Structure 1
Amino acid sequence: MKTLSPSDVNSLPAGGSDPLRFDWKEGWYPVHYVSDLDKSKPTPFTLLAIDFVIWWDSTASCWRVFEDKCPHRLAPLSEGRIADDGLLECPYHGWAFSGEGQCDRIPQQVEDLAAQASKRTCVVSLPTAERQGLLFAYPGLPENASRTPVPIIEALEESPSEWVCIDTFRDLPYDALTLLENVIDASHIPYTHHRSVGNRSFAGPVELEVKESGKQGFQGVWESGPRLGTLGQQDTTFLAPGLMWHDLTSKQFGRTLTVVYATPIRKGSCRIFARFPFKFSSKVPGLFMKLTPRWFSHIGQNAVLEDDQIFLHHQERTYTTKKMKVSFPNHQSPVASII
């Protein structure tokens, strides 16, 4: 089984090199599906309680992520436009910025260009990477970005043409950690998602054997698998800070993954990027899925998220308003603590 830590001696683990501390800024986060971005206009996004703007740099032919504030008067650059010369232009006074964050145009400046040349006129620009249809941003030290692996699903790199994938995303009214704990917890599915993707009659023990664990996450095997063993073995992987997936191979229909990226917007709010790749034993189901409109599958996936959204939101509110150890001495969290 592959190690959770980077194998390249020149690589850095997500979270930084300190074995006792996880730095949430030192990691790659998905911020958008590339197919949903518009190259003609900037798109706002919030990551780790900092507002950013995503925009297409036609000069370098790549996506850029800037802090969403002009260094002049702090106006949101996401309310601006991409000018005819390809620069990101502030809507307030027309300052315009190149892909590296350099201010290349100040309409009001005198001819000596002194203001334009100042470092004070630069915008903070994050390293970006485009992988497996997702745009990732790195909010940590820029020099660490190239040495920190982008969290992707390695299985999808193998024979990619054989996979059919359903993608969806949604902003949720609870924390990224709450989301991750919930989607890793397979034992809630028969009850919470009864009649959507589960059934109460399939409830039973989840005997997950952890094969590897550490600061970078864990890998485990549920040999009997879900639905009382009728589907087959399910492997679960969590890569810190925000990626988890279940990997199930069934004799009935083939191999399927349940992939969740949890991107922290701010405390109490996150964006889920949910991916459902299938490698069917037969070509017919895959053909049907390709013909299904994306909006239709998006509605179905939202219905599943709404199964548990209300009590996850209220659960988190209770966490933050009560002193858990005093008020709820018998409370068990995470779910693994009751096993």
Structure 2
Amino acid sequence: MEDQRVNILADSFRKATSEGLTIEGILLVVFIFSFIALALTLGNYIKKVLSIKRQKAHFIKTVVDLGLKEKEGEILWEYSKKLDRDPYLSLEVKATFEKVIDEYIKENPNFDENMIRDMRRALGFDSIPPFMPLVSTKDIEIFQNGTLLFEGKSYPVALTDKDELYMYWSILEGNPTVKEGQTVKITFLRQEDAVYVFEGEIIETFIDMGRKVIKIPHTFNLVRNQRRKDIRIKAELPVNIKLIDENGNIVSFEALTENISTSGFKFCLSKADEEFVQKLSINQEIETYIKISEETINVKGIIRNIQNRDSKICFGVEFKEIDKKDEAFLGQFIQDKQMELMKKYKQMQKG
């Protein structure tokens, strides 16, 4: 169709020039050219509109299949587009979902809080497993303990309530002279994850059950100070460990990893395995062969810590030398494992 329009324009131009240039001929060519350009532009616009309409219809169907309502799908589609995000990411990635909902809340002060909670629950975003970092302060669990930092002093606090806009921290000890409009800092440790820090302006203070409570708006500006250099996941992987004992003999034994990261792993031995337990000590160098799927990676390591548990002894190993290729392979394994665990977690959340 476009080729035909171009041919019409070319024929008109040849006709006009073959008869000699005239004002009428030039105007005719300009008119036809403008008409074809407008038709092409309008045609492309219509195609784009129809394509977006089909995409949206497919998205809404996907949303309904996941247990959400059409209205909720409309919200995710509209505000994802406003943020220039792929709407499908709001169904799979909690961070994207929270950003989209935050934008919706800002433009709709009379939002339905129960609807948003239902959306989180349907998508499995109502809580975060320990191996995933927090996205915003909305993800902090109720009764999370922390420390309020104010005017050079620290006070123990606990999160006692939260909604879509605010969080409510109760001061457990002391009586800081905090008031509306002041900015405070709160830090807390999330088990199996990291230490988090955020700042917020106090919107209100009040007394509840004899304790001062401060009301602070939610924020995405969470500073995460991970205690470990890399993400560590729980995984039982066969590992062969070799070392040279004090007599110069090579000792080799099998174990299972308890957790692993790209910078090290932990393994445990039964206290009954005295033959091997007694040969391991802090700062001792070992050679390890870790089996991951069908691959085996060979890594040199150093024992950095030893934990005495009820019936076993656990050893924390830091990698001393790891090949870049093996490190990349291990990193991909950890990432895949995280996604797998996240999917299982979301399925469990949905019941």
TM-score (norm 2): 0.25
Larger radius of gyration: 2
Higher-helix-fraction structure = 2
